[in-house]
Amino acid sequence: MPKLTVVGKVVAKNESIELVKSELLKLIEPTRKEDGCIEYKLHQDNEAPTVFIFYETWESTDSLEKHMNTDHFKNFVSVVGSLVEEIAIHKMTTIA
């Protein structure tokens, strides 16, 4: 089964950049310890500091689904709901 690549984009409201960043950083350690997590890296756009991008590699779709049902992920979603303009998740498979 091919690995799953995920690019997650979170766009914070201007007044919430630091709070959203803090909540995103809280996801990193517990997520990297999850079964099935191969790579989990957070980036912040140099030109648009409201934009955060996660680059993730998972062993499978099941691994990602388990991640999205963890307490730390659910807590993140509940805390930042009103602090963000956009959340987009792109699930991809390497083709070349």
Tens of pLDDT, residues 54-81: 999 999 999 999 999 999 999 999 999 9
* pLDDT above 80: residue 9: yes
Mean pLDDT over each residue of the chain, to the nearest integer: 95
* pLDDT above 90: residue 86: yes
Which of the following CATH numbers is that of domain 4-92: 3.30.70.100, 3.30.2290.10, 3.30.565.10, 3.40.1830.10? 3.30.70.100
* pLDDT above 80: residue 1: no
Nearest to 23 by CA among 88, 78, 85, 64: 78
Beta strands across the sheet bearing 84-92: 37-44, 51-58, 4-12, 84-92
Residue boundaries of the structural domains of the chain: 4-92
Model pTM above 0.85: yes
Share of the chain above pLDDT 90, in %: 93
* pLDDT above 80: residue 22: yes
* pLDDT above 70: residue 3: yes
Average pLDDT over residues 38-61: 97
Contacts with 61 (C-beta within 8 Å, 6 or more apart), sequence order: 4, 91
Backbone angles phi, psi at 95, to 5 degrees: -115, -10
Question: Which DSSP category does 15 fall into?
Answer: G
